[in-house]
Structure 1
């Protein structure tokens, strides 16, 4: 299922910062985190909450937390997905954050009963997300969500059809396919490697 946030006023403002050419390094990383924090609110609908006693300023009260044993696992895809994933992670108490390269080291026990949230900055061809989705599905989590800052509409719609039980939360849909290189590559802009020989 596709949950598209492209037309939300606040999301448009947040995504605008990530698209500005002069923004790079830590400032661009923080813009990605802000989008992740906002998307975490959408992903939270998949979580199971339970009542818990809290110490309120007026005395003991009832609050909520993510149900113990069902805390989400956030998987950052590629290096560019890291900062959006950090934004999601900072907004979901008691969640875990792993890199996509570590997915094969997870076993059934930490994943069973939990939601897995796969996070990438850009979905273009869909190849990277497809590979991670297949690996995560094999671990049999309770539910799977994909979070992306931007996705190429045509390929994302194909992924939605291919993975009907996965929730895709996207900050912005694009009607053009685009693969950056050097100064136009999201990862290179984030990590300050736009002039490195293997980026150019």
Structure 2
């Protein structure tokens, strides 16, 4: 697992993304985008080590896991200068893995990891803004994340966490709460 180094800038960006920040809309999207770029730089570095030289950007596809993965995936896409596609976990039967060598699935939040676990193969990478500590073990070296959290709750259309329900990240990204 790769977790972003906690520089001052990364700390400021991750603070924006936390459920208790009260931040929604474009500012949250920008934080996801910037963290995605930083994760993309780390992925690019590691793939270049694996390939023993520059990666073939046309042989790499970033997949935005809808809808929460949209902005992190754009940051990854910009950093890697590769291909971009989308995956709707509500309709997995409609998805065909791209024929590129590397596939990077990008989502804003990984709680259990169940949605992405079935998509793993030796050339798959998982990128997220926040990953629950229980899911980290499932992805091991395949995981690149901005931060790991012990918190886990069901996303809801609420502004403050109450019990096992908290503000849904996707709804915050699209300014719907």
TM-score band by shorter chain is 0.7 to 0.9
Deviation at 1:149, TM superposition (A): 0.5
Aligned position for 2:131: 151
Deviation at 1:192, TM superposition (A): 2.3
Q: 1:172 to 1:185 in 2, by over 3 A?
A: same
Normalised TM-score (structure 1):
0.70
Alpha-carbon distance in 2 for matches of 1:185, 1:79? 11
Task: Give 3-state SS (helix, strand or coil) of 1:84's partner.
Answer: helix
The structure with more radius of gyration: 1
Task: Give 3-state SS (helix, strand or coil) of 1:34's partner.
Answer: helix
Alpha-carbon distance in 1 for matches of 2:78, 2:170? 21
Aligned structure 1 segments of 4 or more residues deviating by more than 3 angstroms: 6-10, 47-50
CA contact (8 A) 1:6 1:173 kept: no
Where structure 1 has 5 or more consecutive residues not aligned to the other structure, the ranges are 51-64, 195-200
Q: 1:32 to 1:143 in 2, by over 3 A?
A: same
Where structure 2 has 5 or more consecutive residues not aligned to the other structure, the ranges are 159-166
Aligned position for 1:4: 3
CA contact (8 A) 1:75 1:116 kept: yes
Aligned position for 1:191: 174
CA contact (8 A) 1:49 1:67 kept: no
Q: Does 1:117 align with 2:104?
A: yes
- Encode CA deviations 1:116-161: one digit per residue, 9 max, x unaligned: 1111100002111224x25xx3xxxx6221111001101222x13x
Q: 1:153 to 1:68 in 2, by over 3 A?
A: closer
Alpha-carbon distance in 2 for matches of 1:76, 1:99? 5
Alpha-carbon distance in 1 for matches of 2:57, 2:35? 27
Normalised TM-score (structure 2):
0.79
What RMSD, in angstroms, separates the aligned Cα atoms of the two structures? Answer: 2.4
Q: 1:66 to 1:124 in 2, by over 3 A?
A: same
Alpha-carbon distance in 1 for matches of 2:5, 2:155? 21
Equivalent residue in structure 2 for 1:84, among 30, 48, 72: 72
Q: Does 1:18 align with 2:9?
A: no
Aligned position for 1:174: 149
Q: How many residue pairs were aligned?
A: 161
Q: 1:105 to 1:76 in 2, by over 3 A?
A: same
